[in-house]
Amino acid sequence: DREMIPTRTGEYVAIGGLNCAISSSEMGLDVPSDQFCPTKPKIFGVGCRLAETMKGRIMILDGAMGTMIQQLKLEENDFRGERFRDHPKPLKGDNDILCLTKPDAIYQIHKDYLLAGADITETNTFNGTPVAQKDYDMEHLVYEINKAAAELARRACEEVAAETGIPRYVAGAIGPTNRTLSISPSVERPDYRNITFLELVDAYSQQVRGLLDGGVDILMVETIFDTGNARAALFAIDQLFENEFEPVPLIISGTIVDKSGRTLSGQTTEAFVISVTHAKPLCLGLNCALGAREIRPFIENISRFTEAFVICYPNAGLPNAFGGYDETPEIMATQLKEFAVDGLVNLVGGCCGSTPAHIKAIAEAMKGIPPRNLPVNLFKETLLLSGLEPMHLNRYTNFVNIGERCNVAGSRRFCKLIKEGKFEDALQVAKLQVESGAQVLDINMDEGMLDGVKSMTRFLNLISSEPDIAKVPLCIDSSNFAIIEAGLGCCQGKCIVNSISLKEGEGDFLEKARIVRRFGAAVIVMAFDEEKQATSIQHKVEVCSRSYDVLTRMAGFNPNDIIFDPNILTIGTGIEEHNEYGINFIEATKVIKESLPCARISGGLSNLSFAFRGKDVIREAMHAVFLYHAIKRGMDMGIVNAGNLPVYSDIPKDLMNLCEDILWNKADNCTDKILEYAENLGEEAKKIVLTDEWRKECTEERIVYSLVKGIDKYIVEDTEEARLQKDTYPRPLNVIEGPLMKGMSIVGDLFGSGKMFLPQVIKSARVMKKAVGHLIPFMEKERQDKLSSAGGKDAGLADEKSRFAGTIVIATVKGDVHDIGKNIVGVVLGCNNFRVIDLGVMTPCEKILSTAINEGADIVGLSGLITPSLEEMIHVAKEMERLKMKLPLLIGGATTSKAHTAVKIAPQYSQPTIHVLDASKSVVVASALLDETAKYDFVEEISEEYDFIREEYRDSQQESKYLSLEEARARALHIDWTCHIPVKPKKLGVTVFKDFDLNILIPYIDWKPFFDVWQLRGKYPNRGFPKIFDDKDVGAEAKQVHSTAMSMLTTIIEEKWLKAHGIVGLFRASSVGDDIKVYSETGEEQGTFFGLRQQV
């Protein structure tokens, strides 16, 4: 029962069982490693020169064209010129037309910016599309305007380059237009759009042709407030590069409209980056809308989220009451200098309100500051998706649920609503799927009586108006490629296309794949070829391998964006050849994952049990058993009814055995047995019937059962019953710490072992939230009673904070919406008289830190459930260090660990950074940190433990990664001496201390090494000297050896056994390359400390 798989070299490899593997090199599928990094820029042509320059120094972009045109105070006749003297519409305000009517003025603006220090100047074409020019009836001149604008900028660059000897570059400015693909212009009709994707593609194509023919070096898609529009521009550019023009580098710059950190169309900065990264821009960043001070946290996000060079050109502050900008060149330059010193940028300039004076000041400020170092292998082997929010899928991601109910072919209710034109009601189906745990939403409009293109367009436009739905990525599902294209044109995020295949031949497959890639989507590939649907392991692997080869080598696909569906086919049909369809999918999955790097596996789960339609109990059990095994072999995602899967371990044993038998084809009569089981169930087989037998258990077991099963029907009454059991649970808090935490602990274990899925965890979390919500009023009353009895409430204290043990700010970090664990921590801390400020979920770093500062917090606590939260926590720690904060930082949540905190987070922050395992430990940790007598020893013990963890981690790393000498030198510390003046010591040169008084030295002795040598180690809180004397195990012995040591020291001093001499030298010094030169007070060189030591 082993099969032979042909490799691409013609050899055969045996597979079968659990140990089969074919490497990508054996398959002949070696893919350049660059292709595995989704955010890596594509560098070619003039981009090579730009990249080399930006690795060596921070380059300078020019400032605002519009600001300089306004300063010219031009009137209507100036805009018209002689050529348009009789034009029927007013032209004042059409700055782009000045390229034809006032070319000398535009040329001079370019030249002024270049002479001020700009390396790159943008063409005067911000409104250079037919869409924008239509307001002036000038759309027929778009090509001419853009070509003329590029030629003016080119002339200025060539002249200034000749004068200065420094190369200058022209960037073709491509603005956002005055239309939006993602937002309706009509409040009453959220599905209405006043432009289509293809209309925008055509408009941008006309503009880009003019810019490229005019000689631009770079294309710059900028001021993006709707990512849908930007994707249309990128689509147009890619088409032109493929069919008409040699490619030039791209710069992409978005606009954050306010301090929420989102674009006007609602995307976070990270989601925006994911949505445009498929274009492989040379530079990626932000401009406009905000001043430098306000834009910093968002440019920092982009800097952490891309391997491209980072550009930032903010406004000269926020607009004042009169629409002007108040930041002087010095203020703006100082603020951008901070970005540079912190290693955030490679290219800077100015937007609205900036002038040549601003650019000159910025250019001066950037001199000598190293540019941002580009991250390496960022998000390698990660599938990046986005809706309004980002999504990462990598080897650490749990199974991803693709919600199936927005499919006219799979949901009668959804189909009926769509057919009846009740699209708003159909939105509720989508919303319920997301609420039930769908992480991606599958949308399908394939029905004979529907206009699929119109239905898909309308429904997706409606989704974009609902942030609670639009936050997740979409899966555009259709067998009609025209419907897929229509759907992709409505999405500003990075979607999944479901699906394409080799069924119609390689040419058709390649054409569709290139279109999908041009849209920037990931793709599901069905295991079909020209002959048939793949059913055997061998055929599935062959088709997927061939498809992978075409996609990576010929269509330019990032392997991370390839998802295979090796066909989940129906089992239990009574037809013998169908019996191993389940086995074949699972085993093919394992081979595909091992042999095709970075590819993912998905499948439509409902097909598996189609033979048992109407028998929901059987079907759902089969699905749970199948997923349990398929996920272990490598299945990453699946189209499922989110929230409607039983927990694997809850399936009745007899039914589970039947499902295992039919899946693994263990006997000839599996189908008959499972049908017999269904018949014995009778009507109960149609749906799962929950009995109330468990209600006979004790209170604690009933609460645990409710949590594990996600049943909220009785949770309030059971929680109240437990609260009233004062002998067992003296305080309401004890109910949380007891049965409620026990239940959630079981949920966590089941989730971690793959026996429970996210939708089920969410149901459990809701039950927990309901129980805790019932207890909160009782806990609050308990706290108030305690305060009253202590006189706290009546004491008339001016400062409310003084009534509390301390103030703790807690938040789920940005990018994460999970909060049940954090909420429990808040409740537990509150019940122990801590003032808790809960900032909720998706909390930006700047909000967490500003709240902590403004509220006078004593501790900051971060929570997260998903893997990307770990990176955000590292970022928060770095920011706390940058701001020189002194507060302890607590880390918690399902995805966190003591090891990660010790190795990755704690080193970023010089204050105590501590992992808190669960809510029950939060009070102990917080109390220790706020107890001045206990804090030192507690922190020291944690620090020692984390040092040990870090050392173990370093030892476990098989291979150290070294930088080249050039790279190491490029990362040298940069000290800004203009901001720091060293304090001159009172005495320079050498100072000698002869025969120093030993009595003065004794109080400075560190006794820890002494006790370590004697192998005496106290336990917290009795760590360190002199508290070790109080330790019950080693205290007496420590006291004795210390007493003996002190006696010896007395003898040493009295009998003068030892003398102490000291010498210290303070000298002028400077760094020269790798070395440090030392000088006398008069400036004469006295010697060199050589910095270059060991190299590998």
Cite the active site residues.
Answer: 816, 818, 869
Residue 951 CA from chain centroid, whole number: 28
Q: Contact 74/67 with Cβ under 8 angstroms?
A: no
Q: Amino acid identity of 343?
A: G
- Write the DSSP string, 252-302: EEE---STT-B-TTS-BHHHHHHHHGGG--SEEEEEEEEEHHHHHHHHHHH
Instruction: Tell me the two tokens of residue 39.
Output: 């955010």
Side-chain-side CA neighbours of 13 within 13 Å: the count stands at 20
Between CA 349 and CA 351 the distance in angstroms is 7
Which DSSP symbol is given to 372? P
In this structure, the strands spanning 1075-1079 and 1068-1072 are antiparallel
Calpha distance 267→455 (Å, rounded): 24
404 and 444 Cβ atoms separated by less than 8 Å: no
Residues 529 and 502: beta-carbon distance below 8 Å: yes
* Count of helix runs (H) and strand runs (E) in the chain: 39, 30
CA-derived radius of gyration, the chain: 34
Backbone angles phi, psi at 38, to 5 degrees: -65, -20
Q: How far is Cα 409 from Cα 447, in angstroms, rounded to an integer? A: 7
Contact 212, 243 (CB under 8 A): no
- Listing DSSP states for 893-957 in one string gives STT--HHHIIIIIGGG-SS-EEE--SHHHHHHHHHHHH-HHHHHHHHHHHHHHHHHHHHHHHHH-
What's at 168, amino acid-wise? R
- For residues 282 and 52, the answer to whether their CB atoms sit within 8 Å is no
> Residue 563 has which token pair?
């998802």
Asked whether 344 and 357 are in contact (CB, 8 A), the reply is: no
C-alpha 607/C-alpha 840 separation (Å) is 40
The sheet carrying 1068-1072 orders its strands as 1068-1072, 1075-1079, 1085-1089
CB 201, CB 232: distance < 8 Å: yes
CA atoms within 13 A on the CB side of 468: 11
With residue 313 as reference, give the H or E element that holds it: strand 309-315
- Beta carbons of 200 and 181 less than 8 angstroms apart: yes
> How far is the C-alpha of 1037 from the C-alpha of 791, rounded, in Å?
45
Q: What value, to the nearest 5°, has the Cα angle with vertex 589 and ends 587 and 592?
A: 115
In sequence order, the 6+-apart residues with CB closer than 8 A to the CB of 951 are none
Q: How many CB atoms lie within 10 A of CB 988?
A: 14
Q: In what order do the strands lie in the sheet with 309-315?
A: 59-60, 347-348, 309-315, 283-291, 250-254, 218-224, 169-174, 120-122
The secondary structure of residue 75, as a DSSP letter, is: -
CA separation for the pair 781, 441 (Å, rounded): 44
Buried b (16+ CB within 10 A) or exposed e, 668-701: eebbeebbebbeeeeeebeeeeeeeeeeeeebbe
